[in-house]
Amino acid sequence: MSPQSRNRQIRDVVFVDGVRTPFGKAGEKGMYHGMRADDLVVKCIRELLRRNPQLPKDRIDEVAIAATTQTGDQGLTIGRTAALLAGLPQTVPGFAIDRMCAGAMTAVTTTAAGIGVGAYDVVIAGGVEHMGNHPMGQGADPNPRFMTERIVDPAALNMGNTAENLHDRYPHITKERTDAYAAASQEKLAKAYAGNHIQPDLVPVAVKKPGQGWALATRDEPPRPGTTMEDLAQLRTPFRAHGRVTAGNAAGLNDGATTALLASADAAEELGLPVKMRMVASAFAGVEPEVMGFGPVPSTEKALRLAGLEISDIGLFEINEAFAIQVLAFLDHFGIADDDPRVNRWGGAIAVGHPLASSGVRLMTQLARQFEEDPSVRYGMTTMCIGLGMGGTVIWENPNHPDYTTDPEA
């Protein structure tokens, strides 16, 4: 008799739910100053459990939490420690994961692969970055060979420099164009807040300010609604004299956490869990570290090939706005207009913030909410650039679309 594993069928993976903390500004003036990163993750896990009471805690098979800087309150195998702190049974394992900005995205794709082959039924995946406690690159010790053997240009170790390099490669993408995109991101987020599109998936966090007492964080801290082109034109270019990248057309330094609940389609049906999205395909790809922001282009091309889809099949894009130049290079490559209504419908990281390893699940949570509100869209995409020259893309299907089916032969 053949081992059962030889007859294993790949199972559908579904996105059940996703939540996040409001994103804060990193540093002493930020709302999470003095707070622990792992406590932010715990609040997200507990909120997932509260929102899905039909899920027995002991049915969770894994907790995967990403962090780019895995020391201090983001260390000690944070997936396991966060699971214990959140009150999950000691039988529920957990692990930490790192793919820099795409940490939470990789936590999702890695555990989704486990679901697909039957290793898991239900998982929690997410990410956290407290950039106030852990500034980018803190404690890093790049191997001297990177420079002595010219494996990587030293400028590639600074993400802002890679954005300037991308401007050099695509000189037709001007600073004025990136500023216009950034202003539009702020405006779209403000409209999304006004329409109550963002708030339903935010986890309120109690915060304490020295001398001010306790308060409840219920909104993102970074947004600057009303930002104009004139405002953006006056900002300095810190990465290069007379450069094009500013604090206004790039994501800031932020604190925040995200978590998502994933399951096999069969387990979701058995447990009465909602299905907000079905994973169609995922892919990661590498590019020259010097132009890190171009990474989403090859990862998207690869994901589309795996899915058997064309870029024209994608009805919604959630693209992480690490830098405006990076998004515009992606759009130009695929022939998509800067103001295409399919792209970052509710704004992006330039406005809302980018706490590194947490951002991938923010993209997914927003896409899931948009799927629910717009059943006319069948396929959506979450994609992002990744430090040291990578890109990641996940393609999702909308269960609210009239053509949605879980039949593998369809």
Cα torsion 23, 73, 43, 370: sign: positive
Nearest Cα to Cα of residue 385 among 292, 317, 254, 318: 292
From the candidates 33, 44, 101, 197, which is the catalytic residue? 101
CA distance 15 to 125: 10
DSSP of 84-118, one letter per residue?
HHTT--TT--EEEE-BTBTHHHHHHHHHHHHHHTT
Judge whether 44 counts as a catalytic residue: no
Cα torsion 97, 103, 104, 106: sign: negative
Judge whether 354 counts as a catalytic residue: yes
* 303 in Cβ contact with 397 (< 8 Å): no
Please give the single-letter amino acid code of residue 2.
S
DSSP of 18-50, one letter per residue?
EEEPPPEESSTTSTTTT--HHHHHHHHHHHHHH
CA distance 48 to 222: 24
Burial group, residue 191, by CB count within 10 angstroms (0-12, 13-18, 19+): middle
What would the two tokens of residue 102 be? 């795409």
SS3 at position 122: strand
- C-alpha 400 chain-centroid distance: 23
CA distance 403 to 283: 24
CA distance 2 to 137: 50
Active site residues: 101, 354, 385
